[in-house]
Amino acid sequence: MTRALQVTLFFVAFKATLATLVNRTIDDTIGDLRTGKGVSYSPAGAWTGPGQCPACWIQPDATLAHNGTFMETSYLPGTELAERVPEVSLSLEFRGTAIYVFFTYANDIGRSGATTRTECDIVLDNGSPVNIQREPDMSITELSYQQLFWHRTGLEDKDHTLVIHGRGPRRSYINFDYALYTTTLLF
Ligand SMILES: *[C@@H]1O[C@H](CO)[C@@H](O)[C@H](O)[C@H]1NC(C)=O
Ligand SMILES: *[C@@H]1O[C@H](CO)[C@@H](O)[C@H](O)[C@H]1NC(C)=O
């Protein structure tokens, strides 16, 4: 074996050993501090953060949410509000091989007629929507924080766009807290 080949093989082995998978955070409010990319909300006025909706029936405790923030909305088809807000969505971008989305859920808030269920259409890279539904747990009055709502692994290591929609015929309470994505670090 020539010395040049030995050196090359050494670096190939070295590089492979130092490829590490790490999770990075996209917070609902501060976004991804590494890339500077934020989360977009549509329509912006339909989404509120901690303390911004005093009249809302569901009052999450921001101190239990990731980094003390969340962004929430209620999608209410069949009401007057729906004429102004026919659909709500949020979108974010990441580069990596896996994505995990964390929501806060409402349960029994003690008000009949409240929209406490969560339902979204999730669209990754303009693909087919995946419909995810979560019904309230009527045996508890507290909200459920930092819950894994949806995830996908085994993605190609490239730039991805994720859009989460509130749309369709059923009402939905949507409270986005944060997302994690898995990225490969090469040294
Ligand atoms: C990233 O976070 C998810 C969800 O918590 C976890 O299942 C996964 O093992 C984590 N991956 C890495 C590389 O830490
Ligand atoms: C949220 O994250 C920012 C940036 O990392 C940090 O400065 C701030 O202290 C955090 N706030 C809370 C409540 O964790």
* Rounded distance from Cα 97 to ligand 1 centre (Å): 11
**pTM of this prediction?**
0.90
Q: What does the pLDDT look like over 66-116, one tens digit per residue?
A: 999 999 999 999 887 777 778 999 999 999 999 999 999 999 999 999 999
* Rounded distance from Cα 77 to ligand 2 centre (Å): 35
Residue of 95, 76, 82, 88 lying closest to 36 (CA atoms): 95
* Rounded distance from Cα 67 to ligand 2 centre (Å): 6
Which CATH code for domain 20-185? 2.60.120.260
Categorize the per-residue pLDDT at 14 as very low, low, confident or very high, splitting at 50, 70 and 90.
low
Residue 1 makes CB contacts below 8 A (sequence gap 6+) with none
Q: Which residues line ligand 1 (CB under 6 A)?
A: 21-23, 100, 180, 182
- 3-class SS of residue 13: helix
Which of 101, 180, 184, 185 for a ligand 1 pocket mutation test, highest count of atoms within 8 Å of Cβ?
A: 180
Half-sphere exposure of 164 (CA within 13 A, CB side): 32
